Amino acid sequence: MEMNKSLLCTLCIVLCTLLSACKGPNNGEDPEIKPQEDTIPADTEINVSPTTRPEQYRPQVHYTPLHNWSNDPNGLFYKDGVWNLYYQFNPNGIECDFGGMSWGHASSTDLMHWQEKPTVLYPDWMGAMYSGCSVVDHENKAGFGNGAVLAFYTASGEKQVICLAVSTDGGETFWKYDHNPIVPSTGLANFRDPKVVWDAQRGRWTMLVARGWDLGAEIWHSYNLMNWEFDGIFRVNIERCNMSQWECCDLLYFEQANKWVAVVSINPNGYITGSSTMYFVGNFDGVTFTPDEDEYPRWLDYGADCYAGVTFDNAPDSRKVMIAWMNNWDYAPGCPPSAWKGAYTLPRELSLRYKGNHWVLCSEPVVELGVVANPWQEAATEMMNIGGDYADAWEARITVSLAKDATIKLSNKYGNQYVITVNAGQRRIYCDRGGKTGESNFSTLFSVPSMSAPIEGNEQYITLDVVVDQSSVELFAGEGSTCFTNTVYPRSIYRNIEVEGEVTELKVRTLETIWK
């Protein structure tokens, strides 16, 4: 078997080299990262410490590849103390090149400090490497060895098909299965983004495959991860759920609630603009997923920049940890960063909580955020110049009464500002990502002065956690039941916070850069 694998790898290398030569851009050479130059106005203040990646807008507590284009996270898994993040990546430039999509790779031992690794999967004769997932085969059901990592990916060629790649070194390298595709084309133009989950109740694996503009997700099952049987299609007869193509699904079981949650990313025509993520709480019998209610869709995040999020396989203690792409297809190709395009949300812990009269899928920053956090500092109603001259990033925790309205303003000395409003009468939260937030003229779709979301539950007070980085603001309110994720491009990071309303708590802590 080792000899066959070696021969296969050799043949794949030769074939990929020939294909690259035919395509032209690499002149027959192996793909390589081509660094991009940063262009920063001379009068721009960049508040990052000397040890950070110093480009303007570079996030300091969110993962970004050093160079080039990236989008959807792929193949997330945990094994032997290491969290592995793969993602859609163009190894040859900063443009979004669908035909050249590959799988980039980064790993972490604490979910905060990420080490960028070599690209693991490149396009081949079957097509570009589109999104997918990975699972750890602890019991050697597939026959590649105990603990082998199986990556299920979309090969996007003439038809989209589901293929398999295998790693026996913990995800550092993969080799492609020589009998791909593992699930052949069903004839659809869009058949992609497989997500494989373990169904402990039935002792088998379930795979969801998004059907794009066919507006649904196929359900398959397997006992050995190799032979897959079709069960049916999950659809919903609700107009709002069917205005966009379905992509990047996930299926989660919450044992305490005895409920399943189906997560579906949609684009365009999302909740705000372009890309969004909806979810459904219900029951799954191994073949059919049935939502509980007709009030859907519910939204995982009410901001504009949380898309294609998926959870890690094999996470310890049955944790549901998700990472999403922190961008939006409406404007991603034109956004200002010039060395890289595409960042990732903070890793988030998902939980299912009963709020008011229904279940809500909540997301909050993982506790590992504390790894880069300094002690909390108490304040009354404002704090200025947070972090001093070098503010890598910071977090605020604000608790306000819902007896009256409250306003939270983030700002910098240049007059850029981001405003959050808690409307007590409506029991809604509003975020203003209008023209005052910073640079916005790169797209007519970027400025949205009034994003809104409901306050879940009946509590009389609400706590908001706000994480501010160089080019993003993430808001988690009511135990993560209401979230907003928005990219912003201020002239320098917001370093001031002012709160108006009936404030019972305001505290701030600075966050150290993850790039040291």
Q: Which residues are catalytic?
A: 72
Beta bridge partners of 99: none
Question: Which tokens belong to 438?
Answer: 């910073």
Return the structure tokens found at 212.
Answer: 């794009």
Alpha helices in 28-110 (DSSP H): none
| Radius of gyration from C-alpha coordinates of the chain | 23
Query: What whole-number distance in Å separates Cα of residue 61 and Cα of residue 480?
Result: 19
Phi, psi at 266, each rounded to 5°: -130, 150
User: What SS3 state is found at 446?
Assistant: coil
d(CA 309, CA 265): 8
Sign of CA dihedral 427, 429, 435, 437: positive
Q: Give the long-range contacts of residues 375-378, CB within 8 A, separation 24 or more.
A: 375/509, 376/507, 376/508, 376/509, 377/507, 377/508, 377/509, 378/506, 378/507
- From residue 33, give the alpha-carbon distance in Å to each of 72, 93, 104, 369, 461: 19, 7, 11, 30, 50
Taking a C-beta distance cutoff of 8 angstroms, is the pair 334, 352 a contact? no
Nearest residue to 405 via CA among 301, 503, 302: 503
Residue 3: CB atoms within 10 A of its CB come to 7
Cβ-Cβ contacts under 8 Å for 342 (sequence gap 6 or more): 64, 65, 69, 70, 71, 87, 325, 326, 327, 332
Mapped onto helix, strand or coil, the DSSP state of residue 170 is coil
